[in-house]
Chains A and B, each alone.
Chain A
Amino acid sequence: MIQKKICMLGSFAVGKTSLVQRYVTSQFSEKYLTTVGVKVDKKVVQIEDQEVKLMLWDLAGNDVFSPLNMSYLRGMAGYILVIDGTRIKSFESALTIYHTCQQKYRQAAVQVAVNKVDIQEQWEVTDAHLAQLHDLGIEINLTSAKTAQAVEDIFIKLARA
């Protein structure tokens, strides 16, 4: 069985843990519970005639209290860069993380999840911001851990990559 390490990266409170929980257990909670350190979940998916075991590394969100620990990324096949569409700062943080990862993990596949699409009317992230990501060659997914929109797709894309 092929095994792939996928890291969840992004600012704090953007919904990294919620996306993993939605994908792995089909559950969602409105309550924000901060992640400290790392939690690894597993999910086996069938890609054509091949089983792929995804090791989903849910990393603590980055902020002044908890900078990104690069050693956690060792051996990752891909990563999901999560942005909270309602918080412009999470977009800026995602760009910084992306450029940091590009220095050492250029080969890793990347998907952006602009999360909380269920409340898109409250978004601060605009089409111009999304165009900025597009110009970097990053695939953008508008997701909602709450409604499950595009959640499975994004993990499957990385399983296929």
Chain B
Amino acid sequence: MDIAAQVFAHLEMAVIKVIEPSAFELAGPSFWWLERFFFQTSPSNATLTPLETSPFFDDFLEQSQSVWRSPEQHSLTSGPWIEVDDAGREWPFDAQAIHDHGQRLLLITHLGASYAERVEILQSSRERLLDNERLEAEVSRRTQQLKEREEEVANRLLAAGGYRDQETGAHVKRIGLYSAAMAKALGWPPLRIDDLRVAAPMHDLGKIGIPDRVLLKPGRLDEDEFEIMKTHAELGARILSDTGIPMIEMARHIAWSHHEKWNGMGYPRQLQQDEIPIEARIVSVVDVYDAMIHKRVYKQPIAESETLHFIRTSANTHFDPRIVEAFLDIYDTIKAIKDRVQEHENDQPSPF
């Protein structure tokens, strides 16, 4: 046996010459398992005739015709497949069709031990992947539980504020939904968007500390009263401080800064431009929009067109121009939220 034949025997690789599409000739050592695929009149006769009993191998032979017929050098690999014998034992194989310098070959390899090793490696890798998936699912489930608890806390805070405020549940819900839609349009990650949806409705939480004579006054506030009313921003921030919960921290920024203006003429700290937290800049726009288009005890609703005109012309003075642009870009979504979440849900003070 020459060296090449020894190598093929060691690899359990049958080397077969392709004489014509369905005529094959063994060009190396023979193996007992070739009987699964070919008829051979005798071990000394190199001519092989396909048996057409293995669906996978037959399909591969058919695909290989294009390789052998191709005028160019070409090859095709089957990938591993498994044959099962009458006793139920599995035999793994791999095949290659080669066309190289006019030589047309079919190589069939019995994978044997190397296949078993590959299965073992893949099995343990996949078991690890399954473990990781289970862990990820558990983390995701617990995060969701935590979020639900945070939202419950937020709802109870809002409910407490709502007993004294004239704002309706629909208003605070809309502020959350508008803000989330804006954050999505601005490309925020999903968890932060959800935080904003829950945090934004708490923007006026500080009104819980404003005296009734100011908070519930039907007419316009005088200068002193307005000064008292302005303290709700800082009061809200104080109520929401030091929790260590990212969503409540976001709500604190919003409560403290949603009356700041882009040009520094807002309150309570006269912050300007990027000094104002972005979540507060978002809430500032949607809160003004919602307040203008809805009826209040002290005013009639303002037309959509007039409201949009006000928002557009307030870019660079009252509002961050990028937030105004995003608002106008998703105006259809904003309007859909406004139409969907209406006051009939709640003609009574605050939230849920």
Binding site for B on A (CB under 8 A): 5, 12-13, 32-34, 36-40, 42, 55, 57, 61, 63-66, 69, 71-72, 74-75, 87-89, 124
- Please report which residues of chain B, range 310-343, place their CB below 8 angstroms from some CB of chain A when the two chains form the complex: none
Among B63, B79, B80, B118, chain A packs the most CB atoms within 10 A around the CB of B79
Verify A40–B81 contact, CB threshold 8 A: yes
Docked CA distance A158–B288 (Å): 58
Closest residue of chain B to A55 (Cβ to Cβ) is B55
Verify B133–A38 contact, CB threshold 8 A: no
- Comparing B124-132, B188-196, B202-210, the segment that makes contact with chain A is B124-132
**How many A-B contacts are there with CB distance less than 8 Å?**
61
Given contacts A34-B122, A40-B55, contact A12 B129 (CB under 8 A): yes
Verify A87–B118 contact, CB threshold 8 A: no
Verify A65–B125 contact, CB threshold 8 A: yes
In the complex, 13 of the A-B residue pairs with CB atoms within 8 angstroms, ordered by the A residue number, are A34-B122, A34-B123, A36-B92, A36-B115, A36-B118, A37-B79, A37-B81, A37-B94, A38-B82, A40-B54, A61-B126, A65-B125, A65-B126
Which chain B residues lie closer than 8 Å to A74 at the CB level?
A: 59, 63
B interface SS class: helix
Verify A38–B125 contact, CB threshold 8 A: no
Verify A12–B126 contact, CB threshold 8 A: yes
Binding site for A on B (CB under 8 A): 54-56, 59, 63, 79-82, 84, 90, 92, 94, 115, 118-119, 122-123, 125-127, 129-130, 133, 137
Verify B56–A40 contact, CB threshold 8 A: yes
Docked CA distance A64–B90 (Å): 25
- Min CB–CB distance B85 → chain A (angstroms): 13
Closest residue of chain A to B84 (Cβ to Cβ) is A39
Docked CA distance A57–B58 (Å): 13
Which chain B residues lie closer than 8 Å to A13 at the CB level?
A: 126, 130
In order of increasing CB-CB distance, the 7 nearest A-B pairs are: A37-B80, A39-B82, A38-B81, A40-B55, A34-B123, A37-B81, A55-B55
- Min CB–CB distance A20 → chain B (angstroms): 12
